[in-house]
Amino acid sequence: MPSAETRPPLPPFDADSAARKVRGAEDAWNTRDPEVCARVYTVDTRWRNRVEFPVGREQVKDFLRRKWSRELDYRLIKELWAFGGHRIAVRFAYEWHDDSGQWYRSHGNENWQFDDAGFMTSRHASINDQPIAAASRLFHWPLGRRPDGHPGLSDLGL
């Protein structure tokens, strides 16, 4: 029997609800908690992330645990790119460093599809990593949610 649980805002999306959905995803990923992040996906969600293709919440959680064990001090900004019906496209950038102290800015795009209850059924991500000097970092808020007053990607010229 299907669950009556929903994950607002629900599709079909308008500009406001799509922007809220994007910010909610950004906030969840900035927790760096795989359990929190996985709650927004269907139990059978399908992903493409670089060369990995997780299927289902459990594989997504495993993927995120591996990701954040390598990508240290991770800070992410997402920005709405386009929306229509049950789909949202975003662009994003995040900064992190590896265990040697080398900083990176990772840039990418995601295409999302949602079910009627507002859970993400698929996520397709394309990502490029750019090594940067620590002095070139732009994301300086304390770990966790990006403060409301912090500039977004367009404001930062990204």
Parse the chain into domains and list their residue ranges.
15-136
**Radius of gyration in angstroms for the set of CA atoms belonging to the chain, rounded to a whole number:** 15
**pLDDT per residue over 95-146, tens digit each?**
999 999 999 999 999 999 999 999 999 999 999 999 999 999 999 999 999 9
- Quote the CA–CA distance of 147 and 94 in Å, as a whole number: 15
In 10 A of CB 88, how many CB atoms? 25
What average pLDDT does range 10-32 have in this prediction? 98
Nearest in space to 96 (alpha carbons), one of 28, 29, 10: 29
Q: Which two tokens stand for residue 93?
A: 């950038």
- Quote the CA–CA distance of 86 and 80 in Å, as a whole number: 14
**pLDDT per residue over 40-62, tens digit each?**
999 999 999 999 999 999 999 99
**What pairing do the DSSP bridges indicate for beta strands 41-49 and 120-132?**
parallel
pLDDT at 3: 57
pLDDT at 1: 40
Mean pLDDT of the chain: 96
| pTM of the model as a whole | 0.95
In 10 A of CB 71, how many CB atoms? 18
Q: Which fold has domain 15-136?
A: Nuclear Transport Factor 2; Chain: A, (3.10.450)
Q: Where are the alpha helices (DSSP H) in 77-119?
A: none
**pLDDT above 70 covers what percent of the chain?**
98
Please say if the pLDDT value at position 85 is more than 90.
yes
Judged by DSSP in three states, 96 sits in strand
Residue 4's pLDDT band (cuts 50, 70, 90): confident
